[in-house]
Chain A
Amino acid sequence: MILYTIMPEHLIFPVDEQAYAKQQVVYYDGIPFLVQETETKEWEIVRNLSTNPAHFLEQKYAPGARFPLSTITS
């Protein structure tokens, strides 16, 4: 099927509401992260939102790294 339209894709095929709830922004060690909850009740880093390049050199802040739900600050 080819759709010829100027409508953005996400307006024609809306994503399930729950997909939005999976990810959220939290602070860990004072650094903002985009995270998603894992089955093991941990946060898994999706994206590091820091502007400090030094934070990208640490393994524990890399995408895919996990930290416990309780360790987040503000």
Chain B
Amino acid sequence: MEKKEYIPFGSEEQQEEKQEQVAANIQQLGQTNIPQMAQDTTIHCLTIIGQIEGHIQLPPQNKATKYEHVIPQIVAIEQNPNIEGLLVILNTVGGDVEAGLAIAEMLASLSKPTVSIVLGGGHSIGVPIAVSCDYSFITETATMTIHPVRLTGLVIGVPQTFEYLDKMQERVVRFVTKHSKISEDKFKELMFSKGNLTRDIGTNVVGPDAVQYGLIDEVGGVAQALQKLRQLIEWKKEGGTMLQ
């Protein structure tokens, strides 16, 4: 059967017009548009990448997650009725404790279902962010470094400063143990263990180990994470309450 037969009478002109448009696009932009998503997606995605920036602005060549960007976005996600769930993607080396905890608390208090996935690394202050979501995933090869809170660039001169740091660390430990299945003793043991990191204390936890310690819920990738998120959204629609 000839293809021509399927084209309704009179549509030849329209087709020509369409082709001209595509040609014009190629001439002007050097490319055609890639296909669009059919409708607005109900799942938004927040990426926590690079360093988590604190009060000092990092040089532009650094990849950084800035809390003044992320926090308004979380507020917008909470308010937008079209958004049903949030996927948090982490690949971070850590950074500012206060800024990291702020993001983690914002994610934990979000009323919409949230799922986090650690790709590559979710180190240091990335740990509380990863566990702040309703359900957390880690890929097989991803790692998380757990270590004590420390101050770079300044020398601890007075005991009060040390006490302040100790309290800060206590906040991180409390947050992580509250939002994940790991016990305080186990978390502190990983935090202060010797011999895992060269000339430093702490532990570098790889994907399946993080799940075994109860820090992360499951090993998986983007398919599992989105499936879980859809499941949580369905569950919430049916009137289920969110559990951590």
Binding site for B on A (CB under 8 A): 6-8, 10-11, 15, 19-20, 22-23, 25, 32, 49, 51-54, 57-59
Taken together as a complex, chains A and B put the C-alpha atoms of A59 and B29 apart, in Å, by 10
Stretch at the interface among B57-65, B127-135, B189-197: B57-65
* Chain B nearest CB, measured from A48 CB (Å): 10
Contact of B59 among A6, A20, A53, A59 (CB under 8 A): A20
Q: Is the CB of B59 within 8 A of A51?
A: no
Nearest neighbor of B36 in chain A, beta-carbon distance: A57
Q: Is the CB of B60 within 8 A of A15?
A: yes
Contact of B60 among A7, A8, A23 (CB under 8 A): A23
Chain B residues lying within 8 Å of A53, measured Cβ to Cβ, are: 41, 43-45
Q: Is the CB of A58 within 8 A of B46?
A: no
Q: Is the CB of A51 within 8 A of B44?
A: yes
**Residue B69 is within 8 A (CB to CB) of chain A in the complex:** yes
**Residue B160 is within 8 A (CB to CB) of chain A in the complex:** no
Q: A15-B60, A57-B34 are in contact. List 10 more A-B contacts (CB 8 A).
A: A7-B152, A10-B62, A11-B153, A49-B69, A51-B45, A53-B41, A54-B36, A57-B36, A59-B31, A59-B34
Q: Is the CB of B60 within 8 A of A25?
A: no
Nearest neighbor of B39 in chain A, beta-carbon distance: A54
Q: Is the CB of A54 within 8 A of B60?
A: no
**Residue B161 is within 8 A (CB to CB) of chain A in the complex:** no
The 5 closest A-B pairs by CB, nearest first: A15-B59, A51-B44, A54-B37, A7-B153, A53-B45
* Chain A nearest CB, measured from B189 CB (Å): 25
30 contacts between A and B (CB under 8 A): A6-B152, A8-B153, A10-B58, A11-B153, A15-B59, A15-B60, A19-B59, A19-B61, A20-B57, A22-B60, A23-B60, A25-B69, A32-B69, A51-B45, A51-B46, A51-B73, A51-B77, A52-B44, A53-B44, A54-B36, A54-B40, A54-B41, A57-B35, A57-B36, A57-B37, A58-B33, A58-B34, A58-B36, A59-B29, A59-B34
Interface size for B (C-beta < 8 A) is: 26
Binding site for A on B (CB under 8 A): 29, 31, 33-37, 40-41, 43-46, 57-62, 69, 73, 76-77, 86, 152-153
Taken together as a complex, chains A and B put the C-alpha atoms of A66 and B15 apart, in Å, by 30
Chain B residues lying within 8 Å of A32, measured Cβ to Cβ, are: 69
Taken together as a complex, chains A and B put the C-alpha atoms of A8 and B31 apart, in Å, by 43
Nearest neighbor of B31 in chain A, beta-carbon distance: A59
Taken together as a complex, chains A and B put the C-alpha atoms of A43 and B111 apart, in Å, by 36
Chain A residues lying within 8 Å of B33, measured Cβ to Cβ, are: 58-59
Among A8, A20, A52, A54, chain B packs the most CB atoms within 10 A around the CB of A52
Taken together as a complex, chains A and B put the C-alpha atoms of A11 and B200 apart, in Å, by 22
